[in-house]
Structures are given as structure tokens and as C-alpha cells.
Amino acid sequence: MDIKPILVALSRHRIAATLITLEIALACAVLCNALFLAVSRMDLIGMNSGVDESRVAALSLDDCDGCQPAELNGRWLQQLRSQPGVQAVGVVNAVPFGQRAGTAGISLDPEGKHFGGVPHFYLLDPGAIDVMQLKPVQGRSFTDGDFQPVENYLPESAQVWITRALAAHLWPGESALGKQFWMSSNRFTVAGVLENFARPDPGRSESGVASAQWSVIVPVLTHAQSGTYVLRADAADLPAIIRDAVAAASKVTPEAILSSDYSATLAQLRDTYFRQDRAMTRLLLGVCLAMLLVTALGIIGLASFWVQQRTKQIGIRRALGATRRQIIGYFQTENLLLTGFGIVLGMLLAFAGNQVLMHYFEIDRLPLYYLPVGAVLLLLLGQVAVIGPALRAAAIPPIVATRSV
């Protein structure tokens, strides 16, 4: 089809054509970024924590004035081990989706010149390793000699296990085994790599979604810390075990305050943690649908208006031999041109909008494949939206059209 007459017709309706083009451009920009954010959040919500969440639970004390770690741990470990169904118990400083307790910046040199990021340091005793059932995919397993006392929060020098995501970030394309990094004067040597182990605050840390799995496992002695405990049991038994442990807290440690918010199974902690993210995802998907609906209505309204304005011209074309298919093709081609111009502008706006989001909200760069996805959606939407007005135009009888004023 010759598009020159179509361009001439559009030039006579510059304001309407410009407005619908800008609407499509805005829809493209919003659609690409909103879809990207929604998919990113869904990936985050479905992330692998590295733990069998249905069989692991945590109990956390908010405060215990004057308590000694060894004495406090002794009471709680005895209480938890005495409960029927408990298979393993350990002491930790934090758990995935729980309270953040060990975030710290690291460097790849002792002088601190090469910043490596801000991972989360997990301090786990031998029982906690057993509860979490941590098995490295690279390097060696944990041994008794790895568990050390703590000085000023962390051991001065320790063998540690990191996640694959953190290893790829620190030493891309290289093996992390045997590599060293520093946190202030503390030196750590990588002894093993775990496939997954989520930090307590995935997606909400200093580095955003990219650092969701930046975790460092530091083996420590049982009495190097106190106040947070993990246990493993069958999924069917775990809710009752937690309920009984919470009920016994006032007797086990009357001087301490048990945190009801963070004393739950890891599955429950995950559900609570991602509640806002699920709401945000639904909101973003709603924005996408709203933008598509508004754009479709705009195309339908403009095409219907133009059909009404061009009734006489359409009738003349029909009288001169134009078929219904040609009339429909004319409107589809016209819409294709408008949508195409809008998409080109929309891709530029989508990229610019992503740069702003990256600067202010620590999100990743928009993958380029989202641009053609948004373009295809809008092209299909435009063709579907214009088909109704195009069919009405094609149905105009030549005799009626030529008599219209």
C-alpha cells in the first residue's frame, strides 16, 4: 500500500496524530519499565534462600539485660532440644528474611583501596550449620577447627564460605577458593562456595536486588553469641514446636523479651518479608494494564473520530472500486505508522526513565529485550484496537457515503 496519501492525511490532523503518538510513547516507556520492575520483584519473591524453609524456624530475643551468652544459650538450647520432634538446634546472629545483624563493607586489599561491596556476615555455630544443612558446591565442608571465638563482632582471621553470587561479584570469571578479603583489620579466606544463601534483607540493602545473595558464612563457637536460635524439625511438627517454645519463653528467660515478629518458621518470615513486594508487583501490573487500556481507548476513539470525519471520502473510494479489505488495510497501516513513531520515541523515554530509576532507587539496568517486548505488545494492541473502527469504515455503503454532507 502506498503510504504517501496516509502521511498527507496525517499531516492535516497534526495535533491529533501528535497526541496519540505521545500517548503511545508514554505507554511504551511506562510499560517497559513497569514490566521490568514487576518481573524483578517476582524473581526476588521467588528467590532460593538456600534453606529448607518449611523445616527450619528461628527464635529471637530482643533484649536480655545482664545475661551471659553461655548461660543464656544453655537454657534455650536445653529447652529446644527437649521438645519432641526437634532434630537439630543452633545459635546464629541472623536468618534469611529475619533481622539484619551483620552488614559490613569489605575490600579486596588490606589497605581498603579496592571496595568489594556490602555483604551480610552470618555467624553460625556447629548446630546452626547442621540445622541449615549447608553443603558447599565448591571447596571443602566445615570442620571442627573452623569454629572460632569472636573478638569485636568477628574473628580476627577466619576461613569463611560465601555464596556463588558474591564470588562472581568479587572475582568475576575466577575461582573464589583461597581468595582473601578484608573487613577493616579482619582478614577472611574463602574455603568454600555455597550455591544460595539469602541475606536477611534481599532487595532492600545498599546494593538493591543485585546483592540479594551476598552472604558470608563465618563459623563461630556456640557461646560466641546468644539471643537468636534456629531449629530443624518436620514441617508438620514445626508450628507446634514454635508455639510451645514461645509459650515457655517467660519461664526459660523471664528477664528477656522474646520477639514474636521474628520467632517463626522461615517460610512465615519469607511471607511477611515479601508482603510489600507482592503488593508492589500487583500495583505495577495494574499500571501496565491501565496504560494498555488507556492507549487502546485512545486509538479506538481517534480512529472512530476519523472514520466519522472521512465518511464521504471513504464512500468515494468505495465507489471508485476500493474493496473492504483495502479500507481496513488503510486504517491498519495508518495506525501502524502512528504506533511505530510512538514506539521509537517511547524506547528513548524508557531508557531515560530507567537511568533515573537506577540513580535514585538502586535498580538494575533495563535489559534491552524489554524494549522489543513492549514494542510488540503495543503494535498488537494498536492493530486490535483499530480493527473495530476500520470494520465500520469498510461497511459504509458507497451510495450512503456519497449522499452524506
Q: Which residue has the cell 532434630?
A: 87
- 139 and 180 both lie in a single domain: yes
Q: Which of 208, 239, 273 is the last residue of a domain?
A: 273
Residue 190: per-residue pLDDT: 97
Rounded to the nearest 5°, which phi and psi values hold at 4?
-60, -45
**What is the structure's pLDDT at 313?**
74
Q: State which residues of the chain have pLDDT below 70.
A: 1-2, 5-10, 13, 359-362, 400-405
pLDDT at 233: 96
Q: Residue 95 has what pLDDT?
A: 96
Q: Tell me, what's the pLDDT at 404?
A: 46
pLDDT digits (tens, 9 = 90+) for 250-302: 888 888 888 888 999 999 999 999 999 999 999 999 988 988 888 888 888 87
Q: Determine what percent of the chain is predicted with pLDDT higher than 90.
A: 46
Instruction: Note whether 40 and 149 are same-domain residues.
Output: no
Q: Please say which residue of 253, 273, 293 terminates a domain.
A: 273
CA distance 317 to 311: 10
203 with 123, same domain?
yes
Q: What is the pLDDT of residue 205?
A: 79
**Same domain, residue pair 245 and 325:** no
HEC string of the chain? CCCHHHHHHHHCCHHHHHHHHHHHHHHHHHHHHHHHHHHHHHHHHCCCCCCCHHHEEEEEEEEECCCCHHHHHHHHHHHHHHCCCCCEEEEECCCCCCCCCCECCEECCCCCCCEEECCEEEEECHHHHHHHCCCCCEECCCCHHHCECCECCECCEEEEEEEHHHHHHHCCCCCCCCCEEEECCEEEEEEEEECCCCCCCCCCCCCHHHHCCCEEEEEECHHHCCCEEEEECCCCCHHHHHHHHHHHHHHHCCCEEECCCCCEEHHHHHHHHCHHHHHHHHHHHHHHHHHHHHHHHHHHHHHHHHHHHCHHHHHHHHHCCCCHHHHHHHHHHHHHHHHHHHHHHHHHHHHHHHHHHHHHHCCCCCCCCHHHHHHHHHHHHHHHHHHHHHHHHHCCCHHHHHHCC
Asked whether residue 190 falls in the same domain as residue 169, the answer is yes
- Do 344 and 233 share a structural domain? no
Q: What is the pLDDT of residues 144-164, one digit of tens each?
A: 999 999 988 899 999 999 999
Q: Identify whether residues 178 and 230 lie together within a single domain.
A: yes
Q: Per the structure, how many domains does the chain have?
A: 2
Q: Are residues 65 and 122 in the same domain?
A: yes
Answer yes or no: do 33 and 154 share one domain. Answer: no
Instruction: Clarify whether residues 205 and 327 are in a common domain.
Output: no
Residues spanned by the domain of 156: 53-273
**244 and 317 assigned to the same domain:** no
- Are residue 118 and residue 223 in the same domain, yes or no? yes
User: Where does a domain end: 241, 273, 305?
Assistant: 273
